[in-house]
Chains A and B, each alone.
Chain A
Amino acid sequence: MTQAPLLLSVDNLATHFFSQEGILEAVDGVSFDIHAGEALGIAGESGCGKSVTAQSILRIVPKNGKIVMGEISLFQNGESVDLVQLDDRGQEIRQIRGGEIAMVFQEPMAAFSMVYTIGNQITEVIRLHQDCSQNEARERAIEMLGRVGMPKPEQTIDAYPFALSGGMRQRAMIAMALSCHPALLIADEPTTAVDVTIQAQVLELMKDLQRDMGMALIVITHDLAVISELCDRVMIMYLGKDVESAPADVIFRDPKHPYTVGLLRSVPELGEGHSQELDPITGSVPSPYRRPAGCPFHPRCPEFIPDVCDVHLPPQIELAGGHRVRCHLYVQD
């Protein structure tokens, strides 16, 4: 693989939430790199910390949460900025949010304000980040809406979000996120709230845009198939830990961590017929306040080794081909 320049490097990131019930270790020591133009998928079940990882990058972690450890280095024009060190309300991070790094959310209704037209909201973003007049910004917004396949962009730009259908709203939100040509787009469950035919449209659109605009992409989802469609690399998270990460073609062909194996086996696969055997993971994700000692997955793990897995946290093992896994079953090559 030809190595594009490094764009974002997350090193040993930990984000904890402090509440009356105790400390919730939502993200606990996660590391990954993204190169320019690369697509990374972050997968896991609810509560695994995938969304908080994205929020940490953009420094939009909710109030009672705090980044307690680690570095997030953003490389631009040969310089690097540690996003963790920035003031989360400062000028610098506000230039990066929506400028260098943009985000699309699961629920487009929540991303738009109901009382402004989508055009108003997109031009606001453009004028915030780029020096241009109202008319120029509007031109660009129309161009962007056309780019994401919005029918009649000259008219829909003056539509209110509630007047658009689910798929169109998703497109408008992608247009808003891309309006300043970000180097990195973070998509948090971009297709979970839409129907399957619309999901196909949105996935195709994101693939095209990523290729044409050469931006990097982080896709956060519980649906491994969506990641398989879009991403070059995959990181699987469980209870705040990055349990396995590898190139997409490697991880789906040869998963190493028992959790990844379980996830892949618990989804019925289209085309496999009525008689396919599901092999669900037993139990459910424990409360993050009561994280198991040792490997967080050991109470549900079919390969559980007594006195090892429940005592020691497995270190990250580097296997061949950029495959990293946190599991006692594997030893360093």
Chain B
Amino acid sequence: MAQADAVHNDVNAAPEPSPEPNPGADGSNPAKSDNVLVVDELRKYFPVLRGFFRRQVGEVKAVDDVSFHVARGETLALVGESGCGKTTTGRCVMRAIEPSGGSVLFRKRDGEEIEITALTKPELRSVQQHMGMIFQDPFSSLNPRLTVLEIIGEPFVTRKLISSRRELEERVAQLLGSVRLDPTYMRRYPHAFSGGQRQRIAIARALALDPDFVVADEPVSALDVSVQAQILSLLKELQSELHLTYLFITHNLSVVEYLSDRVSVMYVGQIVELGRTDSIFRRPRHPYTEALLSAVPVVETGKAGRRRERIILEGDVADPSNVPPGCTFHPRCPYVQDICRIEEPRLVDLAGANGIQPHFVRCHFAEELDLQGVRSSPQ
């Protein structure tokens, strides 16, 4: 048990090597002072109900023992295929859905620490104003019956933060300007806007109450290629202007590389690899990460050395209601050994004693395997 505790504490350590290990069990830990969010052993199990009496016959482990932290001002990407629990993790963190267990510690700008999972509904509401959320599909996330002014102004109105209509319009105009939209558009309805413009409106709404922390769930996946780039650049610019912290949920590894400082690769509800994006992409330590990176098709521009050996994984993502024993990835793993079928690997820090950036991997053979990443430009 003591060993397991040590592992979790490492997950929560700040990216800078902390001077002394922190044996404290939870919360009050001075070394994590610049973390906006510390998630510890987060779990979400959905019951599987069957029959007339809705008896529970099983459970889907959508998120199973997930721990990570997000430092102020950084971008952590959660990446994985559909059904890996990345969206559920994002929602549990905001308590948009109730987690089944674990803790989520949120630190406000003034240093006050709040345990999100322990809050009552009204308390939660007051904390949620420090968090924004951006969704995938800007066609369904905006109410078609409200004008842009009403959509973006809604958080001010429901929280009674603004007294006069004039002030509200000024705030909304300012927000529209910050997402590079013409403020005169505020009386229009969402249908008058293109997909990219709608996503800008959704971003303006997420930023309305000046949050510290923004969860962005596949914000560019539904957009056209040329518009995706605009939104990605906007998100990057806003981050440096407003000192935002992003939890960025996506399946697109090119976007992860472009936007995130650190990345957490998820597979069937668990984190299989977590660390600096550049080091993971250059040299992944988990076979699943390697396969994901090699599966991404690349444009053949004729540059030397771009062709990579492609690893084709057999079969499909495991069913989270019927997780394979041992390592969840073993049925698809090209490097599978006998131990993988029996014993579940733990998430361990490879960097550990070396004092370099933490790099967590959940694989029995993380040390031995020499896995291939994507070539990074030398400069």
Binding site for B on A (CB under 8 A): 45-46, 165-168, 195-201, 203-204, 222-226, 228-229, 248-249, 252-253, 262-274, 276, 278-282, 284-285
Question: Is B226 a contact partner of A225 (Cβ separation < 8 A)?
Answer: no
How near does chain B come to A154, taking the closest CB pair, in angstroms? Answer: 18
Contact A271 B298 (CB under 8 A): yes
B257 lies within 8 A of A225 (CB): no
Listed by A's residue number, 19 A-B pairs whose Cβ atoms lie within 8 Å are A45-B226, A166-B316, A167-B316, A196-B81, A196-B292, A196-B295, A199-B295, A204-B310, A224-B225, A226-B297, A248-B300, A267-B229, A268-B232, A270-B281, A270-B298, A273-B278, A273-B377, A280-B233, A285-B194
Which of these binds chain A: B48-56, B247-255, B354-362?
Answer: B247-255
Contact of B310 among A45, A200, A269 (CB under 8 A): A200
If the complex has contacts A195-B251, A201-B313, A284-B197, are A263 and B300 also in contact, measured as CB distance less than 8 A?
no
Contact for B225 among A200, A266, A282, CB less than 8 A: A266
- Closest residue of chain A to B196 (Cβ to Cβ) is A284
In the complex, whether B19 has a CB less than 8 A from a CB of chain A is no
> Chain B residues in contact with chain A, CB under 8 A?
81-82, 194-197, 224-230, 232-233, 251, 253-255, 257-258, 260-261, 277-278, 281, 291-302, 306, 310, 312-313, 316-317, 374-377
Complex: chain A residue closest to B226, CB-CB? A281
What residues of chain A lie closer than 8 Å to B312, measured between beta carbons?
200-201, 204
* Among A168, A248, A252, A270, contact of B257 (Cβ-Cβ < 8 Å): A270
Q: Of B197, B260, B301, B374, which contacts A252 at CB under 8 A?
A: B301
Q: What 4 A-B pairs have minimum CB-CB distances, sorted nearest first?
A: A280-B229, A266-B229, A268-B258, A200-B295
Choose from B255, B302, B310 the contact partner of A249 (Cβ within 8 Å): B302
**A274 x B300 contact (CB < 8 A):** no
- In the assembled complex, the Cα of A89 lies from the Cα of B257 at a distance in Å of 50
Distance (Å) between the CB of B321 and the closest chain A CB?
A: 14
C-alpha gap A248/B300 in the complex (Å): 8
Is the beta-carbon distance between A274 and B277 smaller than 8 angstroms?
yes
**Pair B376/A272 contact, Cβ less than 8 Å:** yes
Once A and B bind, how many residue pairs between them come within 8 Å at the CB atom?
A: 145
Nearest residue in A to B293 (C-beta to C-beta)? Answer: A270
Q: Which single member of A222, A229, A278 contacts B297 (CB below 8 Å)?
A: A229
Taking CB atoms, residues of chain B closer than 8 Å to A222 are 224-225
B278 proximity list for chain A (CB < 8 A): 273-274
Contact (Cβ within 8 A) A272 B377: yes
Q: How far is the CA of A118 from the CA of B125 in the complex (A)?
A: 49
Q: A269, B291: Cβ atoms under 8 Å?
A: no
> For B82, B292, B313, B316, which residue has the most chain A Cβ atoms within 10 angstroms?
B316
Whole-angstrom distance from the CB of A84 to the nearest CB of chain B?
30
Q: Which residues of B contact A167 (CB under 8 A)?
A: 316
Give the residues in chain B near A273, CB-CB below 8 Å. Answer: 257, 278, 376-377
